[in-house]
Amino acid sequence: MPSLAPRIETVPASGIRRVFEQAARMQSDEADRGTEGHIAMLVIGEPDVPVAAHIGEAARRAWTEDRTDYTPNGGIAPLRAAIREKLHRENRIEADLEQIWMTIGATQALFQAMTLVLSPGDEVLVPDPGYTTFTMNAHIIGATPVPYRLEPQHGFEPDLQALEASITERTRVLVVNSPSNPLGSVFGEQTLRDLLALAKRHDLWVISDEVYEYFTYGTRHVSLASLDEDDRVFTAFSLSKTYAMTGVRVGYLVTPKGLGATMRTTQEAMISCVAEPDQWAALAAIVGDHSAVQEAREHYRANLDVAKEVLDAAGIRYLDPRGAFYLWIDMSHVTEGDVAEWALAFLQRERVAVAPGSAFGRTGEGWIRVCLAATAADLRRGLGALPAPERVAV
Ligand SMILES: Cc1ncc(COP(=O)(O)O)c(C=O)c1O
């Protein structure tokens, strides 16, 4: 067999998948033996609420009516128009239709944006801890991810001085993710303005991942592109989390102005277009009743209260999240410098699957990420099984 492109070997494997697959193996082994028990799955970022009926109906109708053709590369006209209106209303982004591109989830939006602006050897600033795909994409393109740290001593905000000091003449892009996966933190407007000013000083592109825009608690989500004055921000949005339709795979990329022709060409080569029935489902989601989104937000918030109660009672340290549906929990008192191994052992021992923080970057060593999109019972049991600091000390 011929060799693969060397840069492909450098793409790091997902540390979340390891735990997930181990849990799946435990379940299938037990099913074979007829001894299947319950595992509290707090590891994957997957909404646990059903998709709203009107969204599924729109998809089914599209299939029934044979709306199964290629569409324009950017997406069907009514969908792009509905998104333009949503961007104006919800995000305060004034975009024309040529800036809006339907993608296969935010995943493709992120990859697409990165391929437009990065060349092999370029550097891209990524949050640490941060969503794993940012780093993986950079490696696939042959670019170098340069982590910027989000740490407790800085309130999990970027240390702007350190961030600026890490910029070199090869730096081309700053990736921002708010609300954050895995932290659940939400950057305030001033932080976003500071990041944008820094990008401007160094003439960087900005890629803003806003897939959790609808899930904030007691704070407002601000879209970076609404503050952008000189066309340097790409924004990746998604329907996956908002409407609990992760497997349908619809998102969209909002580009800076003037990239319509480039997007048409690259989109044509990459995916041609998003599946047509999925686009009709997306349209129904965006223009339809949002009470399911509201209910999901309340469900995550209620789960957060349950989780905080359990952790507070045990004296376990965590970041009180303002967005997304994750809890970032300090387990450094038991992980002995290897939270990835600890998470596997914890799964085996307690039947609770959590994501090791190290899967999201070096700064995550000693921390775990717990997904709040779960049942309250699983959260109580799963978090109740976490060793408390004082119990370890004796
Ligand atoms: C921060 C972040 N960005 C992007 C994605 C990908 O979402 P999509 O399903 O839209 O591809 C995820 C999914 O977990 C995420 O957490």
Atom of ligand 1 nearest to the CA of 251: 10
pLDDT, mean of residues 284-297 = 98
Distance of CA 267 from the midpoint of ligand 1 (Å): 19
State how beta strands 367-371 and 144-149 pair. unpaired
- Prediction pTM value: 0.96
Task: Tell how strand 355-356 and strand 367-371 pair up.
Answer: antiparallel
pLDDT in tens, 326-365: 999 999 999 999 999 999 999 999 999 999 999 999 999 9
Q: Of all protein residues, whose CA lies closest to atom 16 belonging to ligand 1? A: 181
Question: 105 alpha carbon to ligand 1 midpoint, in Å?
Answer: 7
179 close to ligand 1 (CB < 6 Angstrom): no
pLDDT for res 30 = 86
Question: Which residues lie below 8 Å from residue 54, measured CB to CB, with a gap of 6+?
Answer: 284, 288, 289
Task: Please check the confidence at residue 229 and state whether its pLDDT lies above 80.
Answer: yes
**Cis amide prior to 179 (ω within 30 degrees):** yes
Confidence of residue 392 (pLDDT cuts 50, 70, 90): low
C-alpha 239 – ligand 1 centre gap (Å): 10
Is 251 close to ligand 1, i.e. is its CB under 6 Å away? yes
| Best CA proximity match to 235, nearest among 252, 222, 220 | 252
Contacts of 72 (CB under 8 A, 6+ apart): 273
Share of the chain above pLDDT 70, in %: 99
pLDDT per residue over 67-100, tens digit each? 999 999 999 999 999 999 999 999 999 999 999 9
- Please give the distance, rounded to the nearest whole angstrom, from the Cα atom of residue 300 to the centre of ligand 1: 17
The response to whether residue 42 sits with its C-beta less than 6 Å from ligand 1 reads no
Average pLDDT over the chain, rounded to an integer: 96
Q: Output the CA 113–ligand 1 centroid distance in Å.
A: 14
Q: In the predicted model, is pLDDT for residue 391 greater than 60?
A: no
Write out the DSSP string of 67-129.
Answer: --S---TT--HHHHHHHHHHIIIII-----GGGEEEESHHHHHHHHHHHHH--TT-EEEEEES
What confidence score (pLDDT) does residue 394 get? 46
Under a CB-based contact definition with an 8 Å cutoff, are residues 14 and 343 in contact? no
CA 23 distance to own-chain centroid: 22
Nearest CA to 127 among 371, 360, 370? Answer: 360
Q: Is 242 in the pocket of ligand 1 (CB under 6 A)?
A: no
Query: CB of 215 within 8 A of CB of 323?
Result: yes
